[in-house]
């Protein structure tokens, strides 16, 4: 009886591994479409499909108010801010942030969830740092942006169904794609993609949008604020951006 149980247990484990491996493979017809063309890259402007605050303090409240109204309770529950004070400087950080200093343009909001379903190939994979520094009492703003990473060599493929988000990567000089993510997802308020395993409470939050040319945009943000009362404030946003074209 014990031997029979062990055999059945091994059989079940083998079946689960087989199903997992099979589900990781990209369909043959999709691969054929991918390999018809070489990977393309586009050098988008650093502020592509983004909204930055105006360089005027008096307009900040009106600028951020529409964004705050798009934050649902489900999104807010995922937000964890870490705060502390060092040498009289108040420091606050959040990752991934659903209310960063720099945000995806609301014109790119998802009008129909079905638009994101399909096969997508990477056009742009990059990381950019945006920084606004404010000095008091002059109330003068200094703005800068810097691209710190732009991957033009590795290839990426994204498969989106009505429930699943699967991301594959192929490194330079390799022939096969490797699955790096297979998660559940849902679209929240036509603006956020919640990517999760078993529970939405621990979901990763990405801004999601479609540009005027039908390209899919996924942005995630790390936010940090440094405030020295009555002297200066620094708003630091690191954006990781993926832009895909439909296959």
pLDDT in tens, 32-80: 777 778 889 999 999 999 999 999 888 999 999 999 999 999 999 999 9
Q: Tell me: pLDDT of 242 over 90.
A: yes
List the beta bridge partners of residue 220.
240
Based on the domain organization, do 54 and 2 belong to the same domain? no
Of the pLDDT bands very low, low, confident and very high (cuts 50, 70, 90), residue 127 is: very high
The confidence score (pLDDT) of residue 58 equals 84
**What pTM value is reported for the model?**
0.86
Based on the domain organization, do 21 and 94 belong to the same domain? no
Based on the domain organization, do 31 and 17 belong to the same domain? yes
CA–CA distance, 179 with 232 (Å, rounded to integer): 45
Based on the domain organization, do 16 and 79 belong to the same domain? no
Based on the domain organization, do 89 and 202 belong to the same domain? yes
Domain that holds residue 14: 1-36
Total of domains in the chain: 2
Based on the domain organization, do 215 and 239 belong to the same domain? yes
Based on the domain organization, do 24 and 98 belong to the same domain? no
Based on the domain organization, do 85 and 121 belong to the same domain? yes
Based on the domain organization, do 84 and 115 belong to the same domain? yes
Of the pLDDT bands very low, low, confident and very high (cuts 50, 70, 90), residue 232 is: very high
Based on the domain organization, do 160 and 116 belong to the same domain? yes
Based on the domain organization, do 26 and 136 belong to the same domain? no
């Amino acid at each position: 009886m014990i031997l029979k149980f062990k055999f059945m247990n091994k059989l079940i484990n083998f079946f689960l591994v087989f199903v997992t491996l099979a589900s990781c493979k990209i369909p043959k017809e999709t691969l054929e479409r991918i390999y018809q063309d070489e990977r393309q890259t586009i050098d988008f402007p650093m502020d592509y499909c983004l909204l930055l605050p105006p360089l005027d303090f008096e307009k900040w409240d009106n600028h951020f108010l529409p964004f705050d109204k798009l934050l649902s309770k489900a999104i807010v529950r995922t937000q964890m801010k870490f705060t502390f004070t060092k040498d009289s400087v108040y420091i606050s950080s959040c990752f991934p942030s659903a209310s960063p200093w720099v945000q995806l343009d609301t014109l790119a909001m998802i009008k129909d969830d079905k638009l994101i379903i399909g096969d997508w190939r990477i056009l742009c994979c990059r990381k950019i740092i945006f920084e606004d520094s404010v000095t008091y009492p002059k109330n003068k703003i200094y703005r800068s942006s810097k691209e710190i990473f732009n991957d033009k060599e590795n290839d990426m493929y994204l498969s989106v169904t009505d429930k699943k988000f699967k991301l594959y990567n192929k490194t330079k000089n390799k022939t096969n794609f490797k699955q790096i993510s297979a998660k559940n997802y849902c679209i929240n308020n036509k603006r956020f993609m919640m990517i999760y395993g078993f529970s939405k409470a621990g979901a990763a939050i990405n801004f999601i949008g479609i540009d005027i040319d039908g390209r899919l945009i996924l942005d995630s943000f790390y936010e940090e604020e440094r405030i020295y009362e009555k002297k200066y404030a620094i708003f630091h946003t690191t954006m990781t951006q993926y832009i895909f074209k439909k296959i």
